Structure formats: C-alpha cells, structure tokens
Amino acid sequence: MAMWDNTILQFHYLKAWALLIPTSLIKLKNTLNFYGLKEILLFCKTIQSYSEQLSKLDKTIRRMIMESLGVEKYMDEHMNSANYPLRLIKYKEPQSDETKTGLSAHTDKNIVTILYQNQVKGLEILTKDGQ
C-alpha cells in the first residue's frame, strides 16, 4: 500500500476535517508534500480537541435553550439526534473592486452556530424579509 493510501486511512480514523481531505488523490499527495504528514496529523489532533470542546459548549447552550422553552422532556431525543459538523473557513481579503461578501448566502441548519471571529468583526445576518 502506498504511503498516501495509509494516510487516507489515518485521516479517516482521526476524523480529519474537509479542510484536510482533498477531493482527489493528486491533491492529497500535493498536500502531503507541502505540509508533511507529521504536521497534518498534529493539526488533525488539535482540530479534534477543539471540536470536542465546541461540542460541549454547544450541548450546554442547547440544553439552556430547551430548558427555557420548557421542553426538557425532549432533551435526550434532541441531544442524541444532533451531529456536530465543524467547518473551518478562511476568507481571503477582498480586493478593492470585489464585493465585500466573504461567503455566499447560506442557512445554518442547526440551532446554534458558534463563530470564532478575529478583530475584523465581519459577520452580518440577513433575515428572510431582507432586513
């Protein structure tokens, strides 16, 4: 088995995120050649730990929301049905002639979205009625 085949298996078992799972074998080999396996595996471990902490925070927030709505009897069912996608997005700085939108319009399908921002504070939310 080639080195990158073993790496794909390691990524799978480490639950590496979409950021690190290229869409083709050629891209995977290029990623490995650029960063190195050791650095990628360390990054995966760090992201896994970060994801677990965010998952705990999300559960706490959702539990508080459900309790405030008086629907505690559905708590276990809701908590067991949830998954925790972690999306890492780095926005490029827009050029002066480009739109200032970093991410196209989308809807977060979960109850809670935890956003870790830098000093730019660029998050804007648009309601369904355009406000």
pLDDT band at 17 (very low <50, low <70, confident <90, very high): very low
Question: Which range in 9-13, 28-32, 55-59 is most confidently predicted, on average pLDDT?
Answer: 55-59
Residue 11 has pLDDT above 80, yes or no: no
Contacts 24+ apart (CB under 8 A), 90-93: 91/122
Please report, for residues 2, 99, 111, 121, the alpha-carbon distance to residue 20 in angstroms, rounded to integers and kept in the order given.
18, 27, 26, 26
What are the backbone dihedrals phi and psi of residue 23, each rounded to the nearest 5 degrees, phi first? -80, -5
pLDDT given at position 14: 41
pLDDT in tens, 52-103: 888 888 888 888 988 999 998 988 887 887 776 777 766 666 667 666 666 6
